[in-house]
Amino acid sequence: MPTSRVSRHSYHHGDLANALTGAALELARTGGPEAVVLREAARQIGVSATAAYRHFSSREALMHAVKDCALGEMVERMQQELERVPAGGDPATRLRARLRALGAGYIGFALEKPGLFRTAFQRNTPITGQHGADPMETAPFKMVIAILDDLVELGLIEPDKRPFLGMAAWATVHGMADLILDGPMRHMTPEIQQAAVDRALDMVVDGITVR
C-alpha cells in the first residue's frame, strides 16, 4: 500500500482512489478507526485535500472503503485456518474442524491486527460490504453460513435449529475477541486468554452440531 509522498501528476484516473484507500488502510492498521482521516490519507500520498474529495465525498465514504479492505484481510486470515484442516477423513469430523477454524481465524485476525478489526466493526459507521450494508452479506459471515449449510446437509444440524445459528456463532467469537482486545480479559495472561478462546470455540462447535 502506498504511504510515501508522490507527485499527484503520477496518478492515472482511478488510481488515486486506490492510493487513498491504501493510505487510509495503513492509518487504520496502526491507529484504528480514529486514525482514518481523509486529509491525512491525502497528505500521506502527497495530494491535495481537494483532489481527495473528488474521489471520497466524506470521511464516511473513505471509511466504507477501508472497512471492505479490512474485511478482506479478515477473510484471508480465516482462509488460512481453513487450509490447515486436513483434507479427507470423516466428513463430519472435517466439517466440525472447519467450523472451529473459521472462529480461530476470526479471533486470530482480531488479536493480530486490532486496528483493522476495530475499524471493520467501528460502531459509528454501518458495516458495509461489496453487496450492501447488511453485515450478514459480508464475506466473513458468508463463510460461516456456507459451513453451517454443509452441516445441515450432512445431518449434523437439525433443520429446525438452523435459523440464527450463524448469528449466535458470530456473537460468541466476536464477543471473545472484543473482551480480549478492549474488555476485562485484556489484563489476563496470553495463556489464560488462549484457554478461554479454545473453550469458546469448543462450545460453539459442540453446541451447534449433533454428535
Average pLDDT (67-85) is 96
Average pLDDT, the chain: 89
DSSP secondary structure letter of residue 129: B
Structure confidence at residue 173 (pLDDT):
97
Give the predicted TM-score (pTM) of the model: 0.87
Q: Which residue has the cell 429446525?
A: 160
Residues sharing a CB contact under 8 Å with residue 182, sequence separation 6 or more, in sequence order: 118
Domain encompassing residue 12 = 1-57
In a domain, 141, yes or no: yes
136 and 175 inside one domain: yes
Q: Is 63 inside a domain boundary? A: no
User: Per-residue pLDDT tens for 80-133?
Assistant: 999 999 998 999 999 999 999 999 999 999 999 999 999 998 876 655 544 345
Look at the chain and report how many structural domains it folds into: 2
Cell 486470515 sits at which residue? 77
- Residue bearing the bigger pLDDT, 135 or 98: 98
For residue 161, what is the domain's CATH number? 1.10.357.10
At 124, phi and psi to the nearest 5?
Answer: -80, -5
